[in-house]
Chains A and B, each alone.
Chain A
Amino acid sequence: MAIRTNGKTAAQAEKPSKVGGVVTWFDDRLGLATATKKQIRKVFPDHWSFMLGEIALWSFVVLLLTGVFLTLWFKPSMGEVTYMGSYDQLRGLEMSEAYASTLHISFDIRGGLLMRQIHHWAAMLFIAAMFVHMMRVFFTGAFRKPRELNWVIGGLLLMLGILEGFAGYSLPDDLLSGTGLRIADGLMKSIPVLGTYVSFFAFGGEFPGDYIIPRLFTVHVLLIPGLLLALIGAHMLLLVYHKHTQWAGPGRTEENVVGFPMMPVYAAKAGGFFFIVFGGTALMGALMEINPVWKYGPYNPAEVTAGSQPDWYMGVAEGLLRIMPGWESHIFGFTISWNILIPGVVAPGVIFTAVLLYPFIESWITGDKREHHLLQRPRNAPNRTAFLVAMMTLYGLLWAAGGNDILAVIFNLNLNYITYFMRGAIFVLPVVAFIVARRWAISLQRADEARLLHGYETGVIMRSPEGEYTERHLPISRTEAYTLTARDRDEVFALPSGEDANGVPAPHRRSDKLRSKLSKFWFADNIQKPTREEYDEAQHHAEHELAIHAGEAHSADGHQFDGRHDVQGEELRKH
């Protein structure tokens, strides 16, 4: 019996096997077979660095699971109660319900402390994994067309992840988290014109008020996780649609993707990896104490602990705040606190905007509008690599500056000098790092070229009759040679030159001039892969050289053990 459909004929039920029966039942209602037939055996390429994003994904799942557990007992209220729980040293003290319920989870709920610690460790891991994943994507050029929007989504995920972390960190209402909120209040108040209102509206009145914890709770368990989930969904959908990038190699081209099928290999590997991430964070929760809020005491706006440190990912913001000089302007009876506005509001805004826009900036400079599915080795994009190394240097410096008091104590240094040093270093050292990394990458490109054209170093030293010592080189394998050359040639953007038919010189827009300069800087120093002629020429030369030495038998025993040859039955010559 034919069923009328929009076009294609619908499937006729066959006599089903057991699995087939279930599939048919669902497909009759959802029509999933057409959508999933290709996805079930979808191919994912294998490389260790593709696992970094997975760590982020799975730690997010761990956060959802442990977070739900914590919400069963946590009371997001700043109402005052007298603590009467198990922890002796705080019993009888007045504190907020949020803090009291956090103590309750830690001391009176079995597994509560474990879940709290897993939750906190997983949060640190979540953000760290997103950072490292993002660096991998950046270093290998995986953000290039058609994946720019997925890069933007990833950037938003990182930003939201940090906000989510800060909101969660503030919930227990202990002395340390309250200090963090106090600083957030200071940041809000520094916003010109609106600052005081922003602060009063956020805190429901004067700091600290009794609204901020319930509000942050909603933000932490509903608003941001909802956005994160939606964006992660989009991130994964685009990943599936674009198909994963892969490293160049024999048989691995821009047109295909080579690897293992999702079902069963990746299902088992990725599924197993979830348990490893969960298990790893559970062991951390068991063995490594984190955020022991009972040691800090309830929040009191008149108290603070020396050596207060935020979670690691806030360290950069903290460093910026610490090393900024105390600049403040008073104009027409109004105050502009540059000392807070610049590090707290302007700098993060500029940094995040630059991160989100980077793929578009790079493609404008390079003029590269093609699709890319093969990854680039970091050395083959020296400026991009150097840029990220410079940013990592800046990040590291600011992060260290965020712990300048700790550094001063541990290394017995003068705190003031550390701060003065950092004020200069954040401008100087990233530039130095950029130059070093750029030259380093180009040198590695040269090394690749030498390897390709002149072969690998055998470690065999030859002495000529004249007494000259040279090292013998042997050609690399064809597989390796292909892999080294499987990359694009860089093309410097040249200004349109000459005159048209009517003798009018080609127009030079200012943006074109800038682009041409940048493009030259970007590409001109790079080492390009050899042409076919150059390669063949080098091959001839190498063969010639081998032929010369072929007569000098036994001069180089042992390199049959260099790992490139079959050594079965080979023995070192007996002398």
Chain B
Amino acid sequence: MSHENDSSMPVPGNDEAAAHRGTPAPADPIADPGLAPHEPRPTDVDKHAERRAERQVATLFMLSALCTVLFVVSYFAFDIGESTDTFLGFSTSNLTLGLSLGFALLLLGIGAIQLARKLMSDVEIIEMRHPVASSEQDRRDALAALTQGADDSGIGRRPLIRNSLIGAVALLGLPAVVALRDLGPLPGDSLERTVWKKGMRIVNDVSGEPLKPDEIEIGQLINAEPAVFFATNKEGDPVYEGVELQQEKAKAAVIVVRMQPKDITPLPSRDNWGVEGILCYSKICTHVGCPISLWEQQSHHLLCPCHQSTFDLADNGKVIFGPAARSLPQLPIGLDDQGYLVAMSDFTEPVGPSFWERG
């Protein structure tokens, strides 16, 4: 396919291009020497090279086909299941399927490109550009047609029709918005309250066991939740489950920490919010709501793993670093008659990220 492309052949379009080049503009230092003549590749002039390239490309295609067969074989040959690391830390099925598919595709692609590079004509051809814009005549015609159309419609002459039409169409935007109203309920005051209330026990978030002060050591942090998340109703069904549980958990999750009472510097109003150095804070970051529980025992700092806001739990949950703006809300706690930790009320402020109506 190659020998007719030798350099003596005129490059199509080159003459046309030459006409455009002409002499350089006065300021241009060098005239365009024009497209260099085509240099034949080995495969253009050497029959052996051509045959070799042919074999090369065909081999690539055949290897690709082999890999495709291997894919089908491995699909049926290897079990999958839980084991994700049977072979060199990979699941055998995933590895063999992926490798065979990958190479089947890669070899096909490499073969096609090799074919284009070695055996298809590599004579550069020239195509002239045309102005992107339409011709002046076409523009005038189009504009005239547009004007004619507008005139025929008579809309311009009849402002009453025009304005009422615009108004009617614009108003149709309204149903589009209104119909979306039921996307969700209105917020109401749901962000301002949680399920915590006076007397509700604070329980371990995994076991659901209530907490006693003497079971908590100084420096310890416990991830906790309100007891109601583990409670069942008369029929034996959980009080909260599914979505509702997730929604309430997203607000009511807390952490319980115990520090040396002398280290704690409570606000005057929070003097009786803890029990023997045990304090309870919202676990939901006041920045954008990630659950926080990276606890530095020595410094009493609590760090959010998402954006590194850091709160000082000995100092009323004050922000000491990072993008959060507000202190971590604290839950006032006390003991019930059996000596278990309980909430003394709901949180006194909304937990979690700020929002407009929060005040």
Chain A residues in contact with chain B, CB under 8 A?
Answer: 41-43, 78-80, 86-88, 107-111, 113-114, 117-118, 146, 179, 182-183, 185-187, 189-197, 199-211, 241-243, 250-261, 264-265, 268-269, 271-280, 282-283, 285-287, 292, 294, 299-308, 318, 321-328, 330, 333-337, 339-340, 343, 371, 373, 404-405, 415-416, 419, 452, 478-479, 481-482, 485-486, 489, 529-532, 534-536
Contact = CB atoms under 8 A, between A and B. Distances in A.
18 contacts: A114-B101, A185-B289, A185-B353, A196-B356, A196-B357, A204-B184, A208-B247, A250-B35, A251-B32, A256-B126, A257-B129, A258-B126, A260-B124, A279-B101, A286-B95, A300-B246, A336-B356, A404-B308
Contact of A485 (B28, B95, B306, B308): B28
A191 B312 CA distance: 28
B17 A274 contact: no
B230 to A, nearest CB: 13
A140 B97 CA distance: 41
A268 B17 contact: no
B98 A276 contact: no
Interface stretch (B113-121, B210-218, B266-274, B338-346): B113-121
Contacts of B359: 330, 333-335
Q: Select the residue from B36, B125, B243 with max chain A CB neighbours within 10 A.
A: B243
Contact of B290 (A111, A183, A202, A324): A183
Given A43-B125, A207-B250, A275 B98 contact: no
Contacts of B231: none
Contact of B82 (A87, A186, A254, A318): A87
Interface stretch (B48-56, B142-150, B317-325, B329-337): B317-325
A323 B321 CA distance: 10
Contacts of A536: 29
Contacts of B36: 250-251, 479
Given A326-B324, A529-B29, A111 B97 contact: yes
B300 interface: no
B283 interface: yes
A530 B27 CA distance: 8
B138 interface: no
Given A185-B288, A207-B250, A334-B356, A272 B109 contact: yes
Nearest to A193: B356
Nearest to B30: A482
B325 A328 contact: yes
B253 interface: yes
Nearest to B78: A110
Contacts of B110: 272, 276
Contact of A200 (B185, B290, B324): B185
B53 to A, nearest CB: 13
Given A211-B184, A532-B26, A535-B30, A183 B112 contact: no
B184 A251 contact: no
B224 to A, nearest CB: 9
Q: Select the residue from B183, B294, B355, B357 with max chain A CB neighbours within 10 A.
A: B355
Contacts of A42: 127
Contacts of A113: 80, 84, 91, 93-94
Given A113-B91, A187-B288, A250-B36, A275 B120 contact: no
B305 A304 contact: yes
Nearest to A481: B30
Contacts of B116: 264-265, 268-269, 272
B289 A251 contact: no
A250 B32 contact: yes
Interface residues of B, number: 108
Contact of A204 (B31, B129, B131, B183): B183
Contacts of A260: 122, 124-125
B308 A405 contact: yes
A259 B121 CA distance: 11
A416 B288 CA distance: 19
Nearest to A191: B356
A335 B95 CA distance: 53
Contact of B102 (A259, A286, A322): A286
Given A86-B80, A182-B290, A321-B307, 12 more contacts: A108-B81, A113-B94, A182-B288, A185-B353, A253-B32, A286-B102, A304-B292, A306-B305, A340-B323, A371-B131, A373-B129, A415-B308
Nearest to B96: A286
Contacts of B104: 279
Contact of A324 (B28, B133, B284, B323): B323
B108 interface: yes
Contacts of B84: 113, 292, 294
B353 A250 contact: no
A340 B105 contact: no
A323 B127 CA distance: 53
Given A185-B288, A185-B289, A419-B322, A250 B33 contact: yes
B184 A200 contact: yes
Contacts of A307: 305
B20 A286 contact: no
Contact of B357 (A117, A201, A334): A334
Contacts of B175: none
A250 B35 CA distance: 5
Given A208-B247, A328-B325, A253 B21 contact: yes
A531 B113 contact: no
Nearest to A147: B132
Contacts of B29: 452, 481, 485, 529-532, 534-536
Given A43-B125, A86-B82, A326-B325, A273 B109 contact: yes
A206 B191 contact: yes
B102 A371 contact: no
Nearest to B181: A201
B127 A275 contact: no
A292 B81 CA distance: 15
Given A80-B242, A302-B205, A335-B356, A200 B120 contact: no
Given A113-B94, A280-B106, A326-B325, A202 B183 contact: yes
Q: Select the residue from B24, B103, B127, B249 with max chain A CB neighbours within 10 A.
A: B127
A275 B101 CA distance: 10
A340 B98 contact: no
B167 interface: no
Q: Select the residue from A107, A294, A336 with max chain B CB neighbours within 10 A.
A: A107
Contacts of A194: 356
Contacts of A43: 125-127
